[in-house]
Structure 1
Amino acid sequence: MAQLPLLVVAAVFAAYVLLVIFKSLHRIGPTQVGLVVKRYGLRSLKADTPVAMRGEAGYQADLLMPGMRFRLWPRFAVYKHPWVQVPAGEIGVVIAQVGKPLPIGAKSARYRTEFGDFSDLHAFLKGGGEKGVQRPVLPPGTLAPIHPIAFIVITAREVFGTPVAPELAALARHGHLAPESFGLDEEQLHVKVIAPGKGGDVVGLVTALEGEPLPQGDIASRLGGYADIAEMESDDDVSDAELIDALLGSKNHEHDNYQDFQKFLDAGGRIGLQHDPLLYGAFLLNPFLLKVELVPMLVVNQGQVAVIKGFVGLPTLDTSGAEFKFGSIVRPGHRGIWQEPLRTGKYAINPRIYAAELVPTSILTLNWANATSHAHDLDSRLESIIGKTREGFVFTIDLQVQIHISDARAPAVISMVGTIRNLVNEVLQAAVGNHFRNTLQGLAAIRFIETRQEVQRAAFDEITRYLAGYQVETRGVYIQDVVFPEALVGVLTRREIANQERATFEEQRRTQLTRVEMEKAKGTADMQAQLASAQVSVEISTNQSLAREATARGDAAYVRVTGEAEADRTRAVGLAEAEATKALELAKAAGFEAQREAIGDLPTALVAVAGAIAAGEIKIAPDVLVTGGSSLDGLAAALIQTLRARESNGARIVETADG
């Protein structure tokens, strides 16, 4: 009986030993770590660290790896925690609860390459690791045995580790620990993907939440500032295009596109908006240190240029000349309007620091009407022009104006008007509207209608002159439509009806004349055979007439020549005969004169008559003799009459000869 208590004691002791052994053995799963807690010890932890590095009571720095592990119970307690696992498409943000305090003003801890993925707590602390947000993030697919007290790892789906801050510890105990507990949302803990979307091409504008302050006057940080641009400008052979390439050429390769935030700071990166945006890709960015905003990429289409207004860069150095009074035009890299615009292409440019004004360099058509252009909406605020004529008639005019801005002059135009929309709404709208209102006011309504083309040409000349002051070309001014007053429409309608009636009557008259011509042509066609025969006859007769005319001309020529010869001969013969006759008559006259003196006048006459009768020159007996008396009486009378005639004739011959 005395041995019974001893047996009980032994049994209890054995049970206790078994219990100690049982509680001291820990099976750590393949994706687990064992967090060892030392319940009591001779040393106490420092107030600024929750992890014991030298055997102090509390959370121990060394973790139990997968397998069967022994830690003597009840001095040690072991709590199982999963390995930190970062799913695909997510990142893990690490917050250290151990290490040195952050420097004053710092928001994140300096990182060294020996820290690795933070699974070696001793290397972290030995390397001078600091408390707080760690600058690198754990990439997707990470699976690491990270100390659950030394570090908290935040992913989109789960928070690994146990916070020691009282407010977070309370949330953890109640199972409410989530990314929102640390001021993050789920989207920030995903890999940042920049890719074209429904809105087109985009870039990522980066804002750094930690770094040295920006220099006074700067609104964005560019690694190295603009010393490289100043150096390039010192070379006179460097073109504006080369300067633009240097400005738009990203320096993101120096810090792996902001993914190596430590390199970013070491290279001189500063807090605030960054000069270089992110292009297409997937990036592991720490949401505590970087903020990314997606904005459309600058796309300059064919027929456009982009005039850049630089808000950062070297100090303004105006290149426009003293005569230009509308602001500063500078070389690329200086603050102001760049003198060289960007031409067709896509540009990864930060619109917060480089404002781009797209200027159409093709012919721009603007409508002063209810309808707007399909190619743009610059004329959306333009309305039909309303004006009064001299008599007070109200006209509504739909107008179209075509303008052109050359690419070389685009910076000067933007410097003068600010934007193309301002050019349309402030400059053109006032100039065009006032011109047509003034023109209408000085014209009679009918005069405006009759001289519409002249009014259009005058408007073209006036608008051309006006826009030339803004270095804008005018290519056309066209009056599209005119809405007339109802009273004037009635007058014009009646006038047009009268004109149409007059035109109708004139057309009818022309129709009848055409009909007459047609009938005439028809009759001519019907008589075509006879006309052809008559035409042939006419031609034959004409040819015969021409032949006869030729013959007559030949005969006439022959007769004329022959006649002239015969006339010459006849004149010669006549003259000879005349001379002979004259001589004979003179001889006869002389004989008669001598005979008369010898025998007297009457006997001389009788002798002459007898001689004439003898010669047969005088008929003494008529062919038919009719007489009432004796024949002798009639014969004697005729003889006497003949003698008297001869006497008279002889006297004339004598007179002629004497003359």
Structure 2
Amino acid sequence: MAVVWALPAVAFAVWLAVTGWWRLSDDEVGIVVKRFGRRRRDDDPKVSLYGAKGVQAAVLAPNSFEFLPKFLYDVHRVPVTHVPSGTIGVVVAKVGRPRPPGRAIAKHVECDHFQDAAAFLRAGGEQGRQQEVLVSGSYRINTRAFTVITVDRPEEMARERLTEADLTDVDVEVGEAGVVITRLGGKPDPSEVGPVVEGHEGFQLPWVFQERGGRLGVQRETLDGGGRYPLNPWFAHVVKVPTRVLILEWNREPKPGDNLDVSLEQIVLDVQGYTVRLDMKQTVQIPPEVAPELVLRFGTRGPDAQTPVQQFVQKELAPIVKSYFRRKAATYRIQEFITKYSEVSNDLADAVRQAMKPIGVRAIRTTLEEFECDQQDINDLRRDIANQEKRAELESAELAALTKREAARDQIELQRMKVREAEAELALVEIRALVKLLGPAQVATERIVRELAKAPVPQVIGGSGDMAQQLLGVMPIAQARDMLMTLLDQNPPRPRAVEE
């Protein structure tokens, strides 16, 4: 009789020995389901901490060989959770305590990157969206306890209203500052950026940011260029602001819509009734510490999806520069634009730099191109002077080169003569331009002769020949220029109607 009972017992033992072992591959996690057990005690309804019937919180690890009797347990094999390189995984807990009202995201608990569901439950983990993200890699996740949303799961992304960009590491390039806008934290001050908070590792630890007094909204601390940051999209959003040197152009050329200077047009000034147009290039740099202020004032995106920098250029920089130019232009005479445009350009460039100081943007270099007037004769006069100025500069540069060579003394003296000739020719061209601005030859002569009658100089000015040469024959260039400027102030030149 004993033998009869022994045979089934041996068979059962053999069956247990054969079927009770569970082997998992490197890419599998085993979710354990207990077929029998005691009543749940302080367990989550979906998983068990203490060995009650149903899904267990603990899992079988990949590449493991475990003995669990089949009549007591079942094991469901699920793939290891993979987060692709350069991306993140965000986690939604299916188990845990309900979140308190008003809390948009669950409190953080340590649970080995959600690989220990038992620790999550014991620490009071809450259901719903979690603060910690999973960076690139593989994780042994109990999928009955947690859902991990990655770029490989478009349906789950859509359900949580996430995009592929949301689940990609934030890449801040060299020459950029990443301005962070947080969605969690204390009540913000609408007029200020959030204070710097220590210890959150570039906003990668949202719970530390909140525990140490971080506030909602735009943050003063920025993400450095050249780094990649795995940020939780439920916690923070990043706006990239260029901090490299930028060239903004005021001209009438069409520009692509994504250009920072797309709203800038050619500068148009009124100088004593003459319409003067000029192009300008402005090299600027936005310091990283100024970037958060721009985002705070202009937001992340404006009308027509404009970036904060585009809005800054259009709404603040362009009007300030335009206003400064108009005020400065009102202090100039047309003859100064013709004869002293280099000085005028330097003065206007300094005005641009002064305009940007209060904003905090660095004005590095301002370049004004040659102006263009609606009156062609003004353009002709300016072109003649500009050409002569270039010739004088070239001769001066040649002289400077020769002076470096001691053996070239004769050439140096010859070059000095050329420089003096070029400067004298420039003076003659300037005086001719000023005389021409006085009006027809007879009128100009009469005005000059009347003015000379007041000055202690020889009265040898005649009504024929080159008036400019005659004038320079009786007085120095500076005195002649001042006299003509005074005459032009008394008798300002008037623009003629432009033919259609």
TM-score of the pair, normalised by structure 1 = 0.40
Structure-1 residue corresponding to 2:92: 95
Q: What's the % identity of the aligned pairs? A: 27
1:264 aligns with 2:238: no
Aligned AA (2:296): I
Cα 1:407/1:55, change in 2 over 3 Å: same
Larger Rg: 1
Aligned AA (2:177): V
1:37: how far off? Answer: 0.9
1:449: how far off? Answer: 7.0
1:210: how far off? Answer: 1.7
3-state SS of the aligned residue for 2:166? Answer: helix
1:353 aligns with 2:280: no
- Superposed CA RMSD in Å reads 5.2
2:171 to 186, 189, 193: 193
1:282: how far off? Answer: 0.6
Cα 1:58/1:255, change in 2 over 3 Å: same
Structure-2 residue corresponding to 1:57: 53
- Name which structure has the greater RCO, CA cutoff 8 Å, separation 6+: 2
Structure-2 residue corresponding to 1:279: 224
Q: How do 1:377-416 and structure 2 match up within 5 A?
A: 404=348, 406=350, 410=354
Structure 1: segments with no counterpart, 5+ residues:
159-175, 224-250, 305-342, 368-378, 380-399, 416-431, 433-445, 463-476, 487-659
CA contact (8 A) 1:363 1:404 kept: no
1:154 to 149, 155, 163: 149
Cα 1:45/1:482, change in 2 over 3 Å: farther
1:13: how far off? Answer: 9.1
CA offset digits 1:25-55 (Å, max 9, x no partner): 3211123221111234331476854110111
- Alpha-carbon distance in structure 1 between the residues aligned to 2:487 and 2:48: 90
1:78: how far off? Answer: 0.6
CA offset digits 1:407-442 (Å, max 9, x no partner): 699359999xxxxxxxxxxxxxxxx9xxxxxxxxxx
- Alpha-carbon distance in structure 2 between the residues aligned to 1:409 and 1:110: 49
3-state SS of the aligned residue for 2:181? Answer: strand
CA contact (8 A) 1:361 1:406 kept: no
- Alpha-carbon distance in structure 2 between the residues aligned to 1:125 and 1:409: 60
- Alpha-carbon distance in structure 2 between the residues aligned to 1:123 and 1:61: 9
CA contact (8 A) 1:303 1:360 kept: no
1:79: how far off? Answer: 0.3
Cα 1:44/1:360, change in 2 over 3 Å: closer
3-state SS of the aligned residue for 2:55? Answer: strand
1:39 to 35, 39, 47: 35
- Alpha-carbon distance in structure 1 between the residues aligned to 2:439 and 2:11: 120
- Alpha-carbon distance in structure 2 between the residues aligned to 1:460 and 1:290: 64
CA contact (8 A) 1:36 1:60 kept: yes
- Alpha-carbon distance in structure 1 between the residues aligned to 2:246 and 2:317: 7
Aligned AA (1:127): A
- Alpha-carbon distance in structure 1 between the residues aligned to 2:355 and 2:6: 100
- Alpha-carbon distance in structure 1 between the residues aligned to 2:186 and 2:324: 50
1:483: how far off? Answer: 6.0
Structure-2 residue corresponding to 1:181: 159
Q: How do 1:266-345 and structure 2 match up within 5 A?
A: 266-280=211-225, 281-297=227-243, 299=245, 345=285
CA contact (8 A) 1:300 1:358 kept: no
Cα 1:408/1:126, change in 2 over 3 Å: same
- Alpha-carbon distance in structure 2 between the residues aligned to 1:255 and 1:49: 34
- Alpha-carbon distance in structure 1 between the residues aligned to 2:26 and 2:231: 30
1:152: how far off? Answer: 2.0
TM-score of the pair, normalised by structure 2 = 0.51
Structure 2: segments with no counterpart, 5+ residues:
251-282, 298-311, 330-340, 360-373, 375-436, 448-483
CA contact (8 A) 1:361 1:407 kept: no
Aligned AA (2:121): L
Q: How do 1:119-134 and structure 2 match up within 5 A?
A: 119-134=115-130
Whichever structure has more helix as a proportion of its residues is: 1
Structure-2 residue corresponding to 1:558: none
1:204: how far off? Answer: 2.3
1:104 aligns with 2:101: yes
Cα 1:260/1:67, change in 2 over 3 Å: closer
3-state SS of the aligned residue for 1:180? Answer: helix
Structure-1 residue corresponding to 2:179: 205
- Alpha-carbon distance in structure 1 between the residues aligned to 2:356 and 2:164: 48
- Alpha-carbon distance in structure 2 between the residues aligned to 1:202 and 1:100: 41
Cα 1:410/1:26, change in 2 over 3 Å: same
Aligned residues: 316
- Alpha-carbon distance in structure 1 between the residues aligned to 2:487 and 2:98: 76
Aligned AA (1:262): W
Aligned AA (1:179): M
CA contact (8 A) 1:220 1:272 kept: no
CA contact (8 A) 1:97 1:131 kept: yes
